[in-house]
Amino acid sequence: MLTSRSSLDFIPDELPYYDPSMTRKVALITGGNSGIGFYTVLHLYLHGFVVYIAGRSKSKVCGAIEKIKTEALRRRSNVIEGDLKTRFLGELHFLELDLLNLANVEKSTVVFKSLNEPVIDLMILNAGIGAIPYALTNDGFEIQFQTNFISNFLFTQRLLPLMNKEQGRIIYVSSIAHHLEIFKFSRDWTFNYKPNIIFTWLRYAMSKTSGIQYMKLLSMKHPELQCYSVHPGLVMNTNFFGYWTRIPFIGIFFWFFFQLFGWFFGCSNEEGSYATLRCALSNEEFVNGSYFVSGGKLASSSKVSSDLNAATNTWIWTTKELEKKGFTDLE
């Protein structure tokens, strides 16, 4: 199941390019300021997309935008002149979004609607956290479950009416760790047990399975959209493992372990964006609701994530829980 360095064979440069002055392709990505999301945005920008980066820190997102613009120009300086005639840079914008706060998620969608972009061509639900201790958000959900799934669900449901009805795509960045939900967990379980190093992964698995289930059901409810989920690869140099590497004294050992692990089984931050980019840009025909892994390879997701009854239960559970918090009309 693991993807080795040498088996990454997908090249984003082969994907279509757009001229934003002729074809305005609008992409909205959560968590595009660091790690895998940073390179996803870089490639979309290089392919002519107008990208809205939804993040909780304006300074971090704007800092990333500057770096992406600089890197894009550097890369373009290496492109031969003939190719440059068909390659155009897009636009990069900041949208405020804090997934830890449902009211803020709702507000973010209202702000986006007020921008008068007629359609969203591409939505990428990339933001996520993992492997952290148990905590509840102010909204009362387990912190990973809200960040990785519930808030992304609310964000997407609210913006669905804006999705391009003919070619719109939605991509959920899941994880190979979703396989750890080996049987159907109740969405009421919060796994608030010790040791954290084990139970944190069950909490993470549940959130990432829910995301895949969401994409599968969405692809059936809205066949006019293409909905996919991806495992980006084992990407050890993003901020994802920061909780462990920042632990005083022993953090260095975790860092060393992650580097070693990444060397054998992992891929770079940029390679981590390839699965998403293939789903986002490729003109190949994929079965709607499919799951892709590192390097953009088609794969099978877990039995639980493919079980439509379980997926429906997750959907109903989520809408009911959100309704209790005052977020109605989510169908």
Ligand X SMILES: NC(=O)c1ccc[n+]([C@@H]2O[C@H](COP(=O)([O-])OP(=O)(O)OC[C@H]3O[C@@H](n4cnc5c(N)ncnc54)[C@H](OP(=O)(O)O)[C@@H]3O)[C@@H](O)[C@H]2O)c1
What is the distance of C-alpha 210 from the center of its chain?
13
Q: Is 275 in the site for ligand X (CB under 6 A)?
A: no
Residues 11-30 that bind ligand X (CB under 6 A): 30
Establish if 69 lies at the interface with ligand X (CB under 6 A).
no
Site for ligand X in 202-231 (CB under 6 A): 231
> Which CB sits closer to ligand X, 45 or 88?
45
Residue 72 interacting with ligand X (CB under 6 A): no
Dihedral of CA atoms 275, 87, 122, 141 in degrees, nearest 10, equals 60
Binding mask 96-125 for ligand X (x = CB under 6 A): -xxxx-------------------------
Within residues 120-149, the interface with ligand X by CB under 6 A covers 126-130, 147
Among 15, 28, 31, 305, binds ligand X (CB under 6 A): 31
Are the C-beta atoms of 143 and 136 separated by less than 8 Å? yes
Closest separation between CB of residue 80 and ligand X, Å?
Answer: 31
17 is a catalytic site residue: no
Q: Does the protein bind ligand X through residue 57 (CB under 6 A)?
A: yes
Sheet holding 226-230, edge to edge: 91-96, 50-55, 26-30, 122-125, 169-173, 226-230, 291-293, 297-299
Clarify whether 174 is annotated catalytic: yes
Structure tokens, 326: 């005052």
Q: Which is nearer to ligand X, 88 or 277 (CB)?
A: 277
Residue 74 tokens, joined? 């550097």
Determine which residue in the list 36, 92, 171, 277 makes contact with ligand X, applying CB under 6 A: 36
Size, binding site for ligand X by CB under 6 A: 30
Whole-number Å distance between alpha carbons of 23 and 59: 30
The stretch near ligand X (CB under 6 A) out of 15-23, 108-116, 237-245, 307-315 is 237-245
Phi-psi region of 54 (alpha: psi -120 to 50; beta: other; left: phi over 0): beta
DSSP annotation string for 273-297: GHHHHHHHH--S---TT-EEEGGGE
88 or 262, CB closer to ligand X? 262
The DSSP bridge partners found for residue 94 are: 53
Cβ count within 10 A of residue 321: 16
Smaller CB separation from ligand X, 88 or 108 = 108
User: What is residue 270's three-state secondary structure?
Assistant: coil
Q: Which is nearer to ligand X, 12 or 35 (CB)?
A: 35
Question: Cβ 21 to ligand X, closest distance in Å?
Answer: 29
- Does the active-site annotation cover 39? no
Q: Any residues with CB less than 8 A from the CB of 156 and at least 6 apart, and which?
A: 123, 125, 170, 214, 218
Please answer whether residues 61 and 92 qualify as being in contact, where contact means their C-beta atoms are separated by less than 8 angstroms.
no
Count the Cβ atoms, other than its own, within 10 Å of residue 291: 24
Strand partners, 141: none
Binder among 24, 184, 196, 238 for ligand X (CB under 6 A): 238
Residue numbers annotated as active site: 174, 204, 208
Residues that bind ligand X (CB under 6 A): 30-31, 33-37, 55-57, 60, 97-100, 126-130, 147, 173, 175, 231-232, 234-235, 238-240
